Amino acid sequence: MAMMTVGGVALPNPSSYTVTLQDLDSDNTHRSETGILNRERIRAGVYKINATWTVKYADLKKITQALSPDKFVVTFFDPTTASYKSAQMYAGDRSARLQAYTDESAPEKSVWELTCALVEY
């Protein structure tokens, strides 16, 4: 099974993968003048996945196309529970960095590093 699917598309396994659980606080959360936190948590356990893939052009295209809709369902391995989870997410900034371009006559053989943050709705 793929470590991650996006919108039903099985993605190549990432070369780097971090799962974070975040809490969301309301605008009423603040510290008092004495440094005491007055917290109003409105949601706990919001998933954020930072993933990096080192892939050839064909897989780069597959991943960027899967991440292009404004929202999608991601099924991913959650190391905090050692199980697979599904969540509706969106893709944050995506950056692609060229790793190898050795044959100008065959750019499809180039190797790329793609990094993206996936954030739960």
DSSP letters along 67-89, please? T-SS-EEEEEEETTTTEEEEEEE
50 touches 105 (CB < 8 A): no
For residues 76 and 82, what is the distance between their CA atoms, to the nearest angstrom? 10
Q: Indicate the helix (H) or strand (E) that contains 61.
A: helix 57-66
For 49-106, the pLDDT digits (tens) are 999 999 998 899 999 999 999 999 999 999 999 999 999 999 999 999 999 987 777 7
Amino acid code (one letter) for 107:
P
For 7-37, the pLDDT digits (tens) are 999 999 999 999 999 999 999 999 999 999 9
Assign 1 a pLDDT band (cuts: 50, 70, 90). confident
